[in-house]
Amino acid sequence: MNNVNDIETTHDFIDDQRKWLISYKTETGFSWSRLEGPINRPGSTLSAFCGGNYNNSPYRGGNDKIALEVYRYRQTLMAQAQLQIEAPDEPKFFDTRAARTVMGGLTWAHGGRIVVCIGTPGVGKTKALVEYGERASNAFYIRCRKSMKTITALCKTVLIALGNKSARGSSDDLSRWVVTELKHKKAVLIFDDAQHLVIDQLEEIRGWYDEISVGVMLVGNEHVTSQMEGSSRSAPYLAQLYSRVAQTIVIPRAYPEDAEALAAAWDIHEDSAVALIKEIASRPGGLRECSKTLVNAVTIARSQAVDVTRKHIAEAFAQRASKAVMA
């Protein structure tokens, strides 16, 4: 992309940006207000610019600055389009041992039980959770966040997952709403990153389970169970919840066979390349780190018009990691 400070804003340049913006607006069907944010100018200003009426002149009175903003946006679109062409699409969900383990736990939870799944980052838990939600009825995926610290926030997030995006009211009202929505649904609530849930929220979830036998899957790191097992001051409060856990699943690391499945999904079969993928998967970040590395590796290989090799994977990983691996 060009630095706009180096561009001479001639009449021809301004006319070119004006013509492009008129054409782009027509092709996309965007309104002037829709273009305000991307171009960083009010819609009325853009409209006047394209009509040659801004400050009663097609060239003076700031038309050059508007043209430069249009050019910035034009360059951004071109760069994004080029990157989209060069960057490969990541494989969709594929079967792995970790995914089967997670889905098995979800099936058990869906029968009206509480299941806890503990796993290190990058083993494929989230993809399996989302995939189960696509396959099963009344499986509601909830991503927990550190900012979600109250019962009110929990209830609103659950209700949004249930399709109620404008939920309002006290925490008690919202909790009763959740119960009403879930009653008789034979549903499962899937709480991803459940380590961010606080004691009061976990107790509220237990209350829902006790009242309507809704299935619950708590997925996250070891902090999810450490609270309930007694390694923190919260243990006395969560003993009732822990006693109701029907199953605890632990996935300590990415399985080697899952790294092989990932390589196959990327259509990589060279033994040395697969071995390197397995090595990367054994490190922090697991399959997630492998996937990000392979996006870069495939991009490098495509730029050379060759198939992906171990060398490409090693180079891509070195670009992301502070320590390189042996090529």
Taking the C-alpha atoms of residue 160 and residue 220, their distance in angstroms, rounded to an integer, is 21
Q: Which residue has the tokens 């301004």?
A: 14
Structure tokens at 194: 């459940």
Mean per-residue pLDDT, 177-181: 95
Same domain, 221 and 271: no
Q: What percent of the chain has pLDDT over 70?
A: 91
Taking the C-alpha atoms of residue 271 and residue 268, their distance in angstroms, rounded to an integer, is 9
Taking the C-alpha atoms of residue 168 and residue 156, their distance in angstroms, rounded to an integer, is 8
Q: Is residue 45 part of a domain?
A: yes
**Count of all residues that appear for the chain in the document:** 327
Instruction: Give DSSP secondary structure letters for 120-142.
Output: -TTSSHHHHHHHHHHHSTTEEEE
- Give tens-digit pLDDT for 203-238: 999 999 999 999 999 999 887 776 666 544 445 556
pTM score > 0.75 for this model?
no
* 250: helix, strand or coil: strand
- Give tens-digit pLDDT for 238-281: 667 778 889 999 998 889 999 999 999 999 999 999 999 999 99
- Give tens-digit pLDDT for 305-317: 788 999 999 988 9
The number of domains in the chain is: 3
- Domain with 52, as residue range(s), is 4-86
Q: Is residue 325 part of a domain?
A: no
Same domain, 239 and 102: yes
Residue 86 banded pLDDT, cuts 50, 70, 90: low
The whole-chain average pLDDT of the chain stands at: 88
Per-residue confidence (pLDDT) for residue 68, from 0 to 100? 94
Same domain, 198 and 67: no
